[in-house]
Amino acid sequence: MSTDNKHIAISVITTILLIAALLCAMSCDKCPTEPEFPEFRIEISADFVGASRVRLLVSVSDSGDVREFGIKRNGEVVSKYQLSGKDTLVTDVTANPATAYQYKGVIYYDGKEIDSSEVINLTTLDTTSHELEWTIFRFGYIGSYLRDVFIVSEDDIWAVGFIETEETIHNDTLDPYNAVHWNGEEWELKRIYYSDYVLAGQAVFGFNNTEVIVVAGGTFIWDGNSFFSLNTPIGIFTGSVTRLWGVDSDYFYYVGRNGNLVLYRDTIWSRININTALTINDIFGLSGNLIYMVGSNQDNWSSNFIIYEDGQIRNIDFPDTCMQAVYATACNDVYLVGEGMLYYDDRKINDWPLPGEVPRNLLQSIRGNGPNDLFLAGHLGTVIHYNGNTWRYYEDLFEANTLYAISVKNDCIVAVGLGNQQGIIYHGRREKK
C-alpha cells in the first residue's frame, strides 16, 4: 500500500472512531447511569400481635405482575414471598413472647431491593401460666348433669343443668334443682321455677352480680336476691336453647336448635333469620353488632360458621367436620373448636393443628382471656390450655366425663358437664407466674 493510501485509511478509521465516540456520548447523555426499575411501593401494618405470632398486612403498588418482597425483623430478613395482587397477609411464627421488634417490608426487582416501608414498632404479648390447681365437684345422682357455666367473679359463679339429689329422688314433694351457685366458699343448689315446675337449666350468662340471665324453660334474671321472669312471647323460639351472649340484661341474644337466633333488646323480642336449620351450638360476640355462631349436624357430620354483623348474615359451610364452639378476641382473631381447631382471620378459615400430645377428643367449648390465654374443654374430661406459645394438656383430669362448657375469668377457670350420671364441675385456680 502506498504512503498516500495509508494516510487515507488512517484518516477514515480515525473519523469513524470519532463519530462512534460522539454517538456513544450523545446516547449516554440520554440514559441514566443506573438501571431503570418499575415504581413499586410497599407498606406494612400490624394485623395481629400475639405472644409468638405476628401477622402483618403487606400492601404494594398493584401492577398485575408477580413481585418478590421480604419482611425484615430488627434489620434481618426473616422471610421472602411472592405476591400477585395488591395486598396479602404474612405471619411471623418465630417471634418470642414479651419482646420488642422492629418490622420493615422490602420489595425486590431482579434481586435488588428497590423500595422499603416505614418501620413499625411492636411488642409481643407475654405468655400466661399453665399452672392451675384443680378441684372436682360432683352433684346429684342418676340423670343429673350441668350444661352451662358463667363466672361473674371468682366468688360468684353460676352453673345450670338438672340435679336430682338423694332427697329429691325419694321424696315426691321435693323438686329437683336446676342451678348451682358458688359463693366463694361453697356450691349452693338452687331451684328456678317456671310456673310451678323446675325445668332443666339450659344456658347462663352474666354481666355483674345483679344481672345474671338463665334460661330454664323461660328466661330469668337474677337481681342479686332472686330470679324474676321475662315474659317471652309464645313461639319466638322453636326448640331448646343452647347458649346465651349479651351486652347487658336489656340487650342479649340466645341460640339453639332449628337455626334459632333470638334478640332481646329494650323489652322487644325478635327472631333473626340466619339461613340455616342446623343446631346452633355456641354464640360469642365482640359487640351487639358483631356476633359469631357455630352450628352442626352430627347426623351428616357438617358444620356452619355464621357471622352476624350490622344486620347482615354470612354463612361459611364446613363439610365433613363438626364444630361445637366459638370464641373471639378481635374480628381478626376468632377460634372454632370441635373435631379439631380452626382459626378465622377476618378473611378466611385456617386450620390450626393441635400438638400431638393433645387428645383428639371432640372438643365442646372454648373461652379465654385473650389470644395468649385460651382454654378448651370436651369429652373424656379434656381440658387444654394455650398460653400464646405452648399447649398444656391436663392429663390428671382424664376421666369418662363430658365437659359441655367452660368459662374463664382472669385466674379462675370452671368447666361443667356430666360424669357417671352426676353433674360435674372442674374448678381451676391459677397459680401466679
Q: What is the pLDDT of residues 372-427, one digit of tens each?
A: 999 999 999 999 999 999 999 999 998 889 999 999 999 999 999 999 889 999 99
Within this chain, do residues 139 and 165 fall inside the same structural domain, yes or no? yes
For residue 67, what is the domain's CATH number? Answer: 2.60.40.10
Last residue of a domain, one of 62, 97, 123: 123
Q: How far apart are CA 14 and CA 113, in angstroms?
A: 43
**Amino acid (1-letter code) at residue 17:** L
For residue 255, what is the domain's CATH number? Answer: 2.130.10.10
Which residues constitute the domain of residue 114? 42-123
C-alpha cell at position 70: 421480604
Nearest partner of 381 among 360, 363, 404, 403, judged by Cα: 403
Q: Work out the average pLDDT over 318-329.
A: 91
Within this chain, do residues 287 and 177 fall inside the same structural domain, yes or no? yes
Residue 28 has pLDDT above 60, yes or no: no
Task: Examine residue 2 and state whether it is found in any structural domain, yes or no.
Answer: no
Bigger pLDDT: 370 or 65? 370
Q: Work out the average pLDDT over 253-273.
A: 94
Within this chain, do residues 395 and 336 fall inside the same structural domain, yes or no? yes
Within this chain, do residues 114 and 140 fall inside the same structural domain, yes or no? no
Task: Examine residue 407 and state whether it is found in any structural domain, yes or no.
Answer: yes
**Least confident interval from 5-14, 315-324, 350-359:** 5-14
When pLDDT is cut at 50, 70 and 90, the band that residue 98 belongs to is: very high
Task: Examine residue 76 and state whether it is found in any structural domain, yes or no.
Answer: yes
Last residue of a domain, one of 62, 92, 123: 123
Model confidence pTM above 0.85: yes
What pLDDT shows up at residue 111? 81
Q: Please say whether the beta carbons of 98 and 379 come within 8 A.
A: no
Task: Examine residue 33 and state whether it is found in any structural domain, yes or no.
Answer: no
Within this chain, do residues 88 and 171 fall inside the same structural domain, yes or no? no
Q: Work out the average pLDDT over 146-157.
A: 98
Q: Which stretch, 9-13, 33-37, 256-260, has highest mean pLDDT?
A: 256-260
Task: Examine residue 313 and state whether it is found in any structural domain, yes or no.
Answer: yes
Within this chain, do residues 85 and 233 fall inside the same structural domain, yes or no? no
Last residue of a domain, one of 97, 123, 149: 123
What pLDDT shows up at residue 12? 47
Within this chain, do residues 174 and 283 fall inside the same structural domain, yes or no? yes
Q: How far is CA 416 from CA 24, 32, 86, 334, in A?
A: 85, 73, 47, 23
Task: Examine residue 351 and state whether it is found in any structural domain, yes or no.
Answer: yes
Task: Examine residue 309 and state whether it is found in any structural domain, yes or no.
Answer: yes
Q: How many C-beta atoms lie closer than 10 Å to residue 328's C-beta?
A: 21
Q: Which long-range contacts (CB under 8 A, 24 or more apart) does 344-351 make?
A: 344/305, 345/47, 345/48, 345/55, 345/89, 347/89, 349/305, 349/316, 349/318
**Least confident interval from 100-104, 109-113, 392-396:** 109-113
Task: Examine residue 9 and state whether it is found in any structural domain, yes or no.
Answer: no
Q: What is the pLDDT of residues 305-322, one digit of tens each?
A: 999 999 999 999 887 888
Within this chain, do residues 212 and 94 fall inside the same structural domain, yes or no? no
Residue 130 has pLDDT above 70, yes or no: yes
Within this chain, do residues 193 and 300 fall inside the same structural domain, yes or no? yes
Within this chain, do residues 342 and 364 fall inside the same structural domain, yes or no? yes
Q: How many C-beta atoms lie closer than 10 Å to residue 81's C-beta?
A: 13
When pLDDT is cut at 50, 70 and 90, the band that residue 176 belongs to is: very high
What pLDDT shows up at residue 35? 52
Q: Please say whether the beta carbons of 366 and 389 come within 8 A.
A: no
Within this chain, do residues 223 and 245 fall inside the same structural domain, yes or no? yes
Q: How far apart are CA 406 and CA 395, in angstroms?
A: 17
Q: Give strand pairing partners of 60.
A: 42
Q: How far apart are CA 57 and CA 350, in angstroms?
A: 16
Q: Work out the average pLDDT over 36-58.
A: 87
Residue 5 has pLDDT above 80, yes or no: no
Within this chain, do residues 93 and 233 fall inside the same structural domain, yes or no? no
**DSSP letter string, 324-351:** EEEEEEETTEEEEEESEEEEE-SS-EEE
Q: Work out the average pLDDT over 363-371.
A: 97
- When divided into structural domains, the chain yields a total of 2
